[in-house]
Structures are given as structure tokens and as C-alpha cells.
């Protein structure tokens, strides 16, 4: 007894049959052609039945087998078969009628591309009514007009036989990608020949013959010109439509048919799979692939990615990326990882799902957030990254470059350029090049070279090199990349402790070198730390923070005008593009800043307790280092920290003496002793 009976005559029918048998559903597939039998392999759950049945035979078959479900996946041109199936089901007692589904290939969104959603009552105009070999009609591509045919063929390869006459030629010859592949079959008259010549068709690619043409003649022409596609109109018996389709089928050539029959209602393959899942209470797990598609040009897809995309039922990704590789698959335009995960879990009707990402899955890719999806096994296919493609185009190695991205994230490219010979970055906005060039120029790097790449791998690709100072007004493409080359980078010290003399100084107090070094060591900064320097003064601590937290951000909070000027000068002197000077008095000036991971308090103007309360409120795990001289400030700091935190603060007293020359001798002169108080915290917010 079969649980499901499939009347198959299309690829969708064969795929649904395989799916049902894989899920352990006893399935009988009724095929009418030898091609259909060869398309499937029998197994424990899948049985093939060939031979044609009329309505009465179908009804008896269904009465005997009592299936739960009947699927009509025959070709739309086989309209009599569909009528027989429906008549057979309706002839059964109501309580014996199985669930019925009619499967039709779903149209694309634009309605200008491929469709096989055909009607059942069109014998008067349907040329397929004369096609004896239904495989020939089933394997054809159907479009509404010549422009749609040209659009479809643009992304294919191989020679194309045009049998639509000279009037339709411009639709194809206007497409530069097609012109050299066209074989035009036209009437042997001066007018059509002249049109071919004016359209740019070479004489050797013109077949001037008068029809009608037999199937054998059509086959000879297709083979002579090694054609992979044939374009024809749905012209009926008089126009030799059947002979053309059958010749194409015999030669393994895809027919592109202009003109659609009437439509009938039905559901797509994916929708039918969902019906099967519901009817039989299944919970299948889809195959999910996360695929890097490269810069965008389909020619740069890896063969592995191309194969996986072609066998996928559903593509998920940003619209621009999906449409660059989409053929006939269903599509969901989404790039948020959580929503992608949710859609996959809710739509198990898809057997094979491809989540497509631009570039490479391992280089600043959204794939990172998808790789650990709970409950979903996903394989990852690499692609060609924008870095790899771009550097090869400009003949540069990238093993000695710093690799960054400022697309959707804060990145200090100025500091990176100041301290490295090569810096590569992905950009994300149309004014990113000009903004970067302006900041480089502002920090004294106007002469460094910037090589910019836009629309990589596309026809309008643009790559050029210019000095930063000449790009401050440039407006380019939103998604681009840049290589900054600095032939004289300054080398960063490996440890804390810039000499005091290295800073621009005035009458503003400064945390001295030895105390600064110990305080920074107690802070334990990381490359991506978010730091506050409260009461920043000249900015000696702020600068050292910024140089260590190169992928983070430093906020230097200061209320004095003279100190603010010195802060700006020292930030510029040490090229600290990640150092932001914040005018104002703490704690009020801290409220609108991002939560800190680390904070240094060098001056509090009598508001230390309020400052500490604000820091811990913004991040209960913040690591804090406080410098103080007086016992009163030490007491206030310890009292506040013990009240606000469970962990006991650490206190270190530092006494520093410096040798000074007195006459012919040297004496050690002591600096004020400093208390360094550390609230260790857990660092991360």
C-alpha cells in the first residue's frame, strides 16, 4: 500500500519523490516517459510505475492503494493528465479521497524571467499539444517576450540558435554578452539579411533558409554550430514548434520558448514539500551551507560554491548578494543572523538552504555569527575575499599588511597608518574615503598614498592611487576598499613609559613617567579597551592608553581650557586617532559616553565619590586606577570603593627620586609620594 502517489513529469516532481522516500514515506511515482524512469532510482520506499492511465484506471489505482496524498507534478502542457487525475479523485467516495496538490513552478518576483506556470485549457494555441515527446516541453525554459529571453541568456554560456526571425534580433544583439554567441536563422531575403548585418551578426553566423524544417534538419543545425540554447516562439504545428523542441531535446540543447500558455492554480515545490511534512507529521533537518560568493562577479565563484548554489532550494542573504547568484531558487532577503536562524527553523520544507555572504566567510563576514547556530548543522564554503582580489589586481602582497574593516564598526585607521607600512581596510560609506583622507591630512599624513578600489569585479570596477591630501573632497561608492601605504611609519614602543620630555607641556600638571608606567600596568589594558582618563591634564596617560588600546577608544575628560589645548596637541603629535577629547567636568561629562572597561582618575576636583559611583553604575565590572597625593583623598577613595564594591581595593605607595647635579656632585631629590589605588573588577562590561 502506497502512502503517497506522485504523478511526475517535471524536475519538481522527481525532487519531491526523492524527498518523500528519504523521509520513509512509501511512494509510488507514475511516469509516462523513459526520461522519467531514468530520472529516479527505485528503493525500499520509492517504486516506479510507467505507462499511461485514463481517469478510470487512475480511479481504480487510487481505490486499491488508498494513499493519504496525491501530487500532480506533471508538465502543464500535459493538461489531459491533470484532468484525468482530478476526475479520478472526484470519482472516489468523499471519505476515500486523498489530499490533492497540484505543483507548478513558481514565478520569479520580476515576472520577466523563467516561468513554467502553465494552464490546462489552451489546446487551441499551445504548440506543445503537438509535441509527442513531453520531455522536450518539460525541459524547456519559458519566457514572456524576447527581452526576457535575452535577459535569461545573458548569464549562460554557449552558442544560441535564434529561430524567431529578424524582427526580434535587436533584443539579443543589444546585449554585448550575447552578440558573439548568436546564430541567426532567417529567411533568405535581402531585408532580413541586411538586418542581421546591421545588427552585427557575422556572415558565418547567419543561416538563411526557408522552412518548414524537419526535426533532423533542426538537429543538424544545432550540432553544426555547437549550440547550447535555442530560442523559439510558441508557434504551434504550422510553425514547426514540435520539431524544434524535439530536436533540441535530442541534442541536449535547452529550448527558450517565447510565449506563455494560460495559467492554472497550483503550489510551488517548496510549498508542496511543506504539505508533505504536515500531512505525514515530519520534522526533517535541512542541509545548510554558508557560502562566500566572492566580490560579486559570478565568474569568481569557486566551483564548489557554484555546485552548492545550483542544488539549493532557497537562498538567504542581502538582496544585492542573493540576486547576483540566484537562478530559479526561492529567495529570502535577510542578513540579520537571528532572523536567518529563525527562518530556517520555521521553514523546514526546504531541503537545501544556502546562506550567501559577500567575499570570504572568514574575512570580516557575517558568517561568523551564523557558524554556531544551535540545532542546525551548517557547512561553510570559502570564497574569494575583497582583500585577496584587490591586492592581486594592484600586484601587492598582503602578508605584511595590517587588515582592518571600518564597515559598520569604529576603527582607528589613522593610528594604524601612522605605525604601519601597509594598512588595508574595508569601507562602508560613500564619504569614507574623503573622511579618512581628511583625518590623515589633519594628522600630518597628507603625503601617504591611498589606493582605492570600488565595485570590485564588476564592469564599473574602479581602482586608482592618489595622495591623501588630494582626496579630501572625493565622493565614491559606499562599499569600497583602501590600501594606505606609509613609507615612514613610526614604530610603537613595546612597553609603557614615553619620556616626559616627549609630550608638549605647559603649566598643566602631568602624571610623571614612572608613576604613569606603574598606573598603566595596574590598568591592564587590552587592544580593544574603552578607556576614560578623568582629569586628563596634558594627556600623557590618555596618549599611552590610546597607543595600547589601538582597536579601542580613549575619552580624555578635562575642564581646563589650557589643558584641553595641550590634550589636542599631544593627541595629534602621537597620531592618536582613537583619542577623543571631552570638555567638561566629571561626573557630569561621563553620562553620555559609552560604558568603560577601564578608567584612570588623575584629578577629581573634590568629586571623587560621584565619579566612582558613575563609573561603576555605567559598568559594574570596570577596572579603575586612582592616583592621589593627600591622605584625605586616599581615605575618600577607599571608603567609596569599599561601599560600592565587594572586592577589596589594592593600594600601592610609590616614592620616586631623581638625581640632580649640585655643583660637581649629584643628589637624589624626592618627588611627592603617590598612592596608586586599584579596583581590579572583571574588566569586561
Average pLDDT over residues 396-417: 88
CATH number of this structure's domain 388-485, picked from the four choices 3.30.950.10, 3.90.1170.50, 3.30.360.10, 3.40.50.1240:
3.30.950.10
Tens of pLDDT, residues 488-497: 998 777 778 8
Average pLDDT over residues 381-406: 94
Average pLDDT over residues 263-283: 88
pLDDT band at 31 (very low <50, low <70, confident <90, very high): confident
**pLDDT reported for residue 685:** 47
Calculate what percentage of the chain has a pLDDT beyond 90. 55
CATH number of this structure's domain 500-679, picked from the four choices 3.40.50.720, 3.40.718.10, 3.40.50.150, 3.40.50.300:
3.40.50.150
**pLDDT reported for residue 348:** 86
Helices 79-90, 55-65: crossing angle, 10 deg rounding: 50
CATH number of 127-258: 3.40.50
Looking at the structure, give the CATH architecture of the domain made up of residues 285-384: 3-Layer(aba) Sandwich (3.40)
Contact call for residues 352 and 286 (beta carbons, < 8 A): yes
Alpha helix segments (H runs only) across 443-579: 513-523, 540-548, 561-573
Burial 591-625 (b: 16+ CB within 10 A, else e): eebeebbbbbbbbbeebbbebbebbbebbeebbbb
pLDDT band at 483 (very low <50, low <70, confident <90, very high): very high
Cis upstream peptide for 212 (omega within 30°):
yes
Cis upstream peptide for 587 (omega within 30°):
yes
SS3 category, 424: strand
**pLDDT reported for residue 263:** 58
Tens of pLDDT, residues 506-518: 888 888 899 999 9
Which DSSP category does 203 fall into?
A: G
Q: Which residues have CB under 8 Å from 27's CB, separation 6+?
A: 2, 3, 4, 5, 6, 17, 20, 21, 45, 46, 47
* Average of per-residue pLDDT values in the chain: 87
Domain residue ranges of the chain, discontinuous segments joined by +: 4-102, 127-258, 285-384, 388-485, 500-679
Look at the pTM and tell me if it is higher than 0.75. Answer: no
pLDDT band at 33 (very low <50, low <70, confident <90, very high): low
**pLDDT reported for residue 543:** 94
Give CA angle at 413 (407, 416), nearest 5°: 135
Residue 490 or 373, more confident: 490
**CA 637 and chain centroid, separation:** 50
SS3 category, 197: helix
Tens of pLDDT, residues 231-252: 998 755 545 778 888 899 889 8
**pLDDT reported for residue 337:** 87
CATH topology of 285-384 equal to that of 500-679? no
Tens of pLDDT, residues 6-30: 999 778 899 899 999 999 999 999 9
Q: Which residues have CB under 8 Å from 462's CB, separation 6+?
A: 452, 453, 454, 455, 476, 477
- HSE at residue 21, side-chain half, CA atoms within 13 A, is 20
CATH number of 4-102: 3.40.50.720
Tens of pLDDT, residues 634-666: 999 999 999 999 889 999 999 999 899 888 899
Calculate what percentage of the chain has a pLDDT beyond 70. 92
Amino acid at each position: 500500500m502506497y502512502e503517497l502517489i506522485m504523478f511526475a513529469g517535471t524536475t519538481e516532481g522527481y525532487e519531491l519523490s526523492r524527498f518523500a522516500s528519504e523521509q520513509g514515506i512509501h511512494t509510488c511515482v507514475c511516469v509516462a516517459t523513459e526520461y522519467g524512469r531514468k530520472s529516479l532510482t527505485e528503493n525500499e520506499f520509492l517504486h516506479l510505475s510507467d505507462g499511461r492511465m485514463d481517469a478510470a484506471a487512475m480511479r481504480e489505482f487510487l481505490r486499491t492503494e488508498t494513499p493519504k496524498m496525491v501530487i500532480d507534478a506533471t508538465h502543464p502542457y500535459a493538461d489531459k493528465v491533470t484532468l484525468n487525475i482530478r476526475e479520478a479523485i472526484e470519482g472516489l467516495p468523499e471519505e476515500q479521497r486523498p489530499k490533492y496538490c497540484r505543483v507548478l513552478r513558481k514565478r520569479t518576483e520580476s515576472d520577466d524571467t523563467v516561468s513554467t506556470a502553465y494552464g490546462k485549457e489552451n489546446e487551441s494555441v499551445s504548440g506543445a499539444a503537438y509535441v509527442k515527446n513531453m520531455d522536450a516541453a518539460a525541459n524547456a525554459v519559458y519566457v514572456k517576450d524576447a527581452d526576457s529571453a535575452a535577459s535569461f541568456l545573458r548569464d549562460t554560456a554557449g552558442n544560441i540558435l535564434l529561430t524567431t526571425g529578424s524582427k526580434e534580433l535587436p533584443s539579443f544583439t543589444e546585449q554585448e554578452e550575447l552578440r558573439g554567441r548568436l546564430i541567426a536563422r532567417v529567411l533568405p531575403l535581402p531585408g532580413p539579411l541586411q538586418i542581421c548585418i546591421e545588427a552585427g551578426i557575422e556572415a558565418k553566423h547567419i543561416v538563411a533558409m526557408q522552412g518548414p524544417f524537419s526535426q533532423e534538419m533542426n538537429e543538424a543545425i544545432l550540432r553544426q554550430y555547437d549550440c547550447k540554447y535555442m530560442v523559439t516562439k510558441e508557434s504551434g504545428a504550422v510553425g514547426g514548434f514540435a520539431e524544434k523542441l524535439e530536436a533540441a531535446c535530442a541534442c541536449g540543447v535547452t529550448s527558450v520558448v517565447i510565449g506563455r500558455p494560460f495559467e492554472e492554480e497550483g503550489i510551488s515545490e517548496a510549498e508542496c514539500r511543506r504539505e508533505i511534512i504536515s500531512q505525514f507529521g515530519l520534522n526533517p533537518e535541512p542541509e545548510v551551507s554558508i557560502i562566500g560568493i566572492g566580490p560579486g562577479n559570478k565568474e569568481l565563484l569557486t566551483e564548489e560554491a557554484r555546485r552548492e548554489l545550483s542544488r539549493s532550494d532557497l537562498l538567504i542573504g542581502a538582496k544585492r548578494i542573493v540576486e547576483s547568484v540566484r537562478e530559479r531558487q526561492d529567495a529570502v532577503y535577510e542578513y540579520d543572523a537571528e532572523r536567518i536562524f529563525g527562518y530556517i527553523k520555521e521553514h523546514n520544507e526546504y531541503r537545501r538552504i544556502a546562506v550567501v555572504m559577500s567575499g570570504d566567510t572568514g574575512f570580516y563576514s557575517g558568517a561568523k555569527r551564523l557558524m554556531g547556530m544551535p540545532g542546525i548543522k551548517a557547512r561553510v564554503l570559502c570564497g574569494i575575499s575583497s582583500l585577496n582580489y584587490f591586492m592581486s589586481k594592484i600586484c601587492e602582497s598582503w602578508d605584511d599588511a595590517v587588515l582592518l574593516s571600518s564597515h559598520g564598526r569604529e576603527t582607528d585607521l589613522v593610528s594604524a597608518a601612522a605605525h604601519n607600512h601597509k594598512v588595508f581596510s574595508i569601507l562602508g560609506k560613500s564619504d569614507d574615503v574623503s573622511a579618512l583622507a581628511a583625518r590623515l591630512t589633519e594628522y600630518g599624513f597628507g603625503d601617504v598614498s591611498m589606493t582605492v578600489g570600488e565595485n570590485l569585479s564588476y564592469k564599473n570596477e574602479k581602482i586608482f592611487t592618489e595622495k591623501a591630501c588630494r582626496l579630501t573632497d572625493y565622493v565614491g561608492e559606499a562599499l569600497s576598499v583602501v590600501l594606505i601605504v606609509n613609507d615612514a611609519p613610526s614604530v610603537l614602543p613595546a612597553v609603557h613609559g614615553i619620556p616626559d620630555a616627549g609630550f608638549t607641556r605647559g603649566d598643566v600638571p602631568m602624571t610623571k613617567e614612572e608613576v604613569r608606567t606603574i598606573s598603566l600596568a595596574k590598568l591592564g589594558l587590552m587592544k580593544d579597551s574603552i578607556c576614560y582618563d578623568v582629569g586628563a591634564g596634558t594627556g600623557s596617560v590618555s596618549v599611552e592608553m590610546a597607543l595600547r588600546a589601538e582597536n579601542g577608544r580613549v575619552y580624555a575628560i578635562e575642564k581646563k581650557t589650557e589643558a584641553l589645548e595641550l590634550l589636542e596637541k599631544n593627541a595629534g603629535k602621537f597620531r592618536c586617532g582613537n583619542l577623543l577629547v571631552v570638555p567638561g567636568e566629571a561626573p557630569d561629562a561621563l553620562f553620555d559616553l559609552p560604558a568603560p572597561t577601564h578608567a584612570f582618575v588623575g584629578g577629581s576636583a573634590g568629586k571623587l565619590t560621584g565619579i566612582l559611583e558613575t563609573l561603576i553604575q555605567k559598568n559594574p565590572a570596570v577596572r579603575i586606577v586612582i592616583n592621589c597625593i593627600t591622605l584625605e583623598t586616599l581615605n575618600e577613595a577607599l571608603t567609596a570603593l569599599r561601599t560600592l564594591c565587594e572586592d577589596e581595593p589594592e593600594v600601592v605607595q610609590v616614592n620616586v627620586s631623581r638625581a640632580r647635579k649640585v655643583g660637581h656632585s649629584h643628589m637624589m631629590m624626592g618627588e611627592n609620594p603617590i598612592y596608586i589605588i586599584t579596583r581590579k573588577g572583571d574588566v569586561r562590561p
